[in-house]
Amino acid sequence: MKIAVIGGGISGLSAAQFLCEKYDVTVFEKDNRPGGLIKCRRVNGSLFHTCGGHVFNSKRADVLEWFWSKLNRESDFVKADRNSVVYVDNKGMVDAYGDSVIPYPIENHVYLFNKELQKKIIDDFVKIAKNEGAEPANFEEFLKNRFGATLYDIYFRPYNEKVWRKDLKNVPLSWLEGKLPMPTVAEMIINNINHVKEKAFVHATFWYEKKDGSQHIIDTLSEGLNIKCDSKIDSIEKSGNGWLVNGERFDKVVFCGNIKDLPGILKGADLSEYTDHIAALEYHGTTAAFCEIDANPYSWIYQPSGRHESHRIICTGNFSPTNNSETLPKGRITATVEFTDEISKEDILDNLKRMPLNPKYLDHQYNPYTYPVQNADTRKMIQTMKQHLAGDNFYFTGRFADWEYYNMDVAIGAAMDLCRSL
């Protein structure tokens, strides 16, 4: 049986690896090399994660078992504890840049704020406790109901408005699963009294490659696969019980690209009931600015500050020493500074002047599709469409095929679940 896998990102390569043991699999990748959103490249000898800073862990035992069957944990990876902070404007313990450095998650570290803010936050906790269990209708309500109005105004609202670029009332709750800690009021109070670090979320500890970052994962998963790069898909046409992919016949297709492309390239299958919904799907891109910054002990730095447009610094230079070129000045590491949607080099440089840690520009890359934005009907539409196409031996999975905010491990798990059913 011949199976075409469309897209050579983490979802497509994982699916191909699952399937190639039993079937004849060909991967079609539109770029000149596979990797999708987890590709990396070297800039002046330092490693640039061109979108995000991808690390690995999983709550699924089957994902962990499969991943470590393909990659060598002992020789090629290091395990680290996540050390993330929030830089907020003059709200507590102020650093040299005029920012308060509050460990993440911010709700566990109320004791670091000044006494006035502590009182306001505690008053909020009391109000929340009286209404605990109320079901929020949207993201704004969730944040206020879970963490209170003060923390919402200090951090949750400004940070998430930078990320989503829209009124948080219009952000659905579906993306939240596994993304944020979900503490009760009692847990937040206990965590503050005992200075407890948050360990509930999946990447509280993580593995990271000693050399070449997530590019090492891509290179390893590409081994032994038939990958056709520079292969833009112009047509996937139904032919009997199978499909013609750019004219080449396959028995089944696993689509790991962008669902927005399907109405234009899929022929012989009626998508009329889905096309309007697909066209209306919202998303955001990310501009990743690769920089030198002052050495620090952090993994991620979240930035709600209104002084600049960046929402996050990923200190990838701390993940592995090999990420930093030997030519870097002493006391400097590399990092990725993230901006939502496209921003020019001129604007990047202007923003960097107003940011802490003295960032110096090295390079940047814009990725137009990074954050899928769901509405209330998206998941139901996707599921119905999957059932409809599965009868024709056409399947799909991946962040922008499923229109889900997948981390790398979740993308692998979704590909695993699909391939088990084929």
Assess whether 264 and 405 both reside in one domain. yes
The residue with greater pLDDT, 43 or 193, is: 43
- Tell me the Ramachandran region of residue 267: left when phi exceeds 0, alpha when psi lies from -120 to 50, beta otherwise: beta
Asked if residue 203 has pLDDT above 70, the reply is no
Mean pLDDT of 39-49: 98
Contact 358, 308 (CB under 8 A): no
Planar angle of CA 214, 215, 217, nearest 5 degrees:
65
Asked if residue 329 has a cis previous peptide bond (ω within 30° of 0), the answer is no
Q: How far apart are CA 277 and CA 384, in angstroms?
A: 12
Tokens of 408: 């790398």
Asked if residue 115 has pLDDT above 90, the reply is no
Asked if residue 41 has pLDDT above 60, the reply is yes
Assess whether 187 and 221 both reside in one domain. no
Question: Where is the domain boundary, 137, 163, 194?
Answer: 194
Asked if residue 105 has a cis previous peptide bond (ω within 30° of 0), the answer is yes
Assess whether 268 and 392 both reside in one domain. yes
Contact 291, 335 (CB under 8 A): yes
Closest CA to 211 of 322, 314, 52, 336: 322
Q: What is the DSSP letter of 377?
A: T
Assess whether 231 and 170 both reside in one domain. no
Mean pLDDT of 96-103: 71
How far from the centroid of its chain's Cα atoms is residue 128's Cα?
A: 30
Burial class (CB in 10 A: 0-12, 13-18, 19+), 366: middle
Alpha helices in 228-293 (DSSP H): 262-265, 275-280
Please compute, for residue 370, the number of CA atoms within 13 A of its CA located in the half-sphere on the CB side: 23
- Domain total in the chain: 2
In whole angstroms, how far apart are CA 307 and each of 180, 217, 337, 359?
25, 36, 15, 15
Asked if residue 199 has pLDDT above 80, the reply is no
pLDDT at 177: 62
CATH number of 271's domain: 3.50.50.60
Q: What is the pLDDT of residues 154-166, one digit of tens each?
A: 999 999 999 999 8
Mean pLDDT of 218-225: 98
Q: What is the pLDDT of residues 308-355, one digit of tens each?
A: 999 999 999 999 999 999 999 999 999 999 999 999 999 999 999 999
Tokens of 32: 């000149």
Q: Which residues pair with 48 in a beta bridge?
A: 41
Question: Where is the domain boundary, 162, 194, 226?
Answer: 194
Assess whether 379 and 410 both reside in one domain. yes
Tokens of 103: 């460990």
pLDDT at 28: 98
Least confident of 98-112, 265-279, 288-302: 98-112
Q: What is the pLDDT of residues 386-414, one digit of tens each?
A: 999 999 999 999 999 999 999 999 999 99
Helices 115-130 and 139-147 pack at an angle, to 10 degrees, of: 110
**Does residue 95 fall inside a structural domain?**
no
**Average pLDDT of the chain, as a whole number:** 92
pLDDT at 91: 55
**Does residue 254 fall inside a structural domain?**
yes
pLDDT at 2: 98
Q: How far apart are CA 286 and CA 214, in angstroms?
A: 18
Cα dihedral angle (333, 369, 182, 161), rounded to 10 degrees? 80
Query: Residue 232, Cβ neighbours under 10 Å: how many?
Result: 11
pLDDT at 96: 47
Assess whether 264 and 390 both reside in one domain. yes
**Does residue 23 fall inside a structural domain?**
yes
Assess whether 149 and 272 both reside in one domain. no
Assess whether 220 and 150 both reside in one domain. no
Tokens of 143: 């944040």
Which residue range forms the structural domain that includes residue 21? Answer: 2-37+215-281+374-420
Identify the helix (H) or strand (E) that includes residue 13.
helix 10-19
Tokens of 258: 């962008």
Q: How many residues are present in the chain?
A: 422
Assess whether 258 and 394 both reside in one domain. yes
The residue with greater pLDDT, 295 or 374, is: 295
Name the band, by pLDDT with cuts 50, 70 and 90, for residue 114: confident
Assess whether 123 and 249 both reside in one domain. no
**Does residue 177 fall inside a structural domain?**
yes
Assess whether 121 and 169 both reside in one domain. yes
**Does residue 87 fall inside a structural domain?**
no
**Does residue 334 fall inside a structural domain?**
no
Closest CA to 154 of 105, 196, 97: 105
Assess whether 380 and 254 both reside in one domain. yes
Mean pLDDT of 215-229: 98
* Strands annotated E in 144-217: 205-209
Q: How far apart are CA 15 and CA 377, in angstroms?
A: 27
Question: Where is the domain boundary, 137, 160, 194?
Answer: 194
211 CB contacts (<8 Å, ≥6 apart)? 76, 320, 322
**Does residue 139 fall inside a structural domain?**
yes
Tokens of 421: 């059913």
Burial class (CB in 10 A: 0-12, 13-18, 19+), 180: middle
R_g over Cα of the chain: 22
Burial class (CB in 10 A: 0-12, 13-18, 19+), 188: buried
**Does residue 259 fall inside a structural domain?**
yes
How far from the centroid of its chain's Cα atoms is residue 410's Cα?
A: 10
The residue type of 18 is F
